[in-house]
Amino acid sequence: MVEITRSFEIEVEAIDADHRQLVEIINEITQAIDDGRAGECADLVPNFVEFSQQHFAREEALLTKHAYPLAEKHRQHHVGLTDKMKNIQALSERAADSQPAADALRKELVFILMDDVINEDLAFKSFLMKAEARDTSGDDAGS
């Protein structure tokens, strides 16, 4: 079971919620593999890929909105994940009849989510937290 623990939190609710959603999808997939229902992977993995893309878009918008200096670099990083997404999709189609493929898929999903997606986001954690806090207090003052 994968889980978003404290050290993986960005502490910006919109993003953490997305990340938790991604974790849920992945736990569903790994559960399926562990229960010998690897056939379901072919349907579930596209969900993950699709939701990732939506999340990337939302995240990039937020970074741009707050004028994060390295926003473009982070966008490039998201684009750079395309090949890995293709790879897990290919693996998911083979997972039903190849245990090694299923194992590789399971492993790779966790790494992509935790190391490639969330870890990289932690780079803008403090920037975004401050920016959001400023906005909120600014809103309060205005209202």
Partner 1 sequence: MQGLHMVGVRHAYGKTQVLNDISLTVPAGELVCLLGPSGCGKTTLLRIAAGMERLQTGSVTIDEVIVAAPNVQLPPEERQIGFMFQDYALFPHLTVFENVAFGLFRQDRQTARARALEVLEQVGMTQHAEKHPHLLSGGQQQRVALARALAPKPRLVLLDEPFAGLDTTMRARVRQQTLSVLKQTSVATLMVTHDPREAMYMADRIKVMGENGQILQSGRPQDIYYNPAEEYVARLFGPMNMIEGVAQDGSLASSFGPLAVGDAGNGQAVRVLIRSEGLILSHGGEQPGGTPVDVLSAHLLGDSSLVGFRVREGINSGAEFQARIPGAFDLTGRGQTWAHVDPAQVFPYPQKQ
DSSP 108-129: HHHHIIIIIIIHHHGGGHHHHH
* 69 touches partner 1 by CB under 8 A: no
If the CB atoms of residues 37 and 51 are measured against Fe ion, the closer one turns out to be: 51
Question: Binder to partner 1 among 27, 89, 110, 127 (CB under 8 A)?
Answer: 110
Closest C-alpha to 89, from 103, 74, 105, 110: 105
DSSP letter, residue 69: T
Q: Could you give the 3-state DSSP secondary structure of residue 67?
A: coil
> Interface with partner 1 includes 24 (CB under 8 A)?
no
Among 28, 75, 120, 127, binds partner 1 (CB under 8 A): 120
The reply to whether 121 sits near Fe ion by the rule CB under 5 A is yes
Instruction: Report the partner that residue 83 touches, choosing among Fe ion, partner 1, none (CB closer than 5 to 8 A by kind).
Output: partner 1
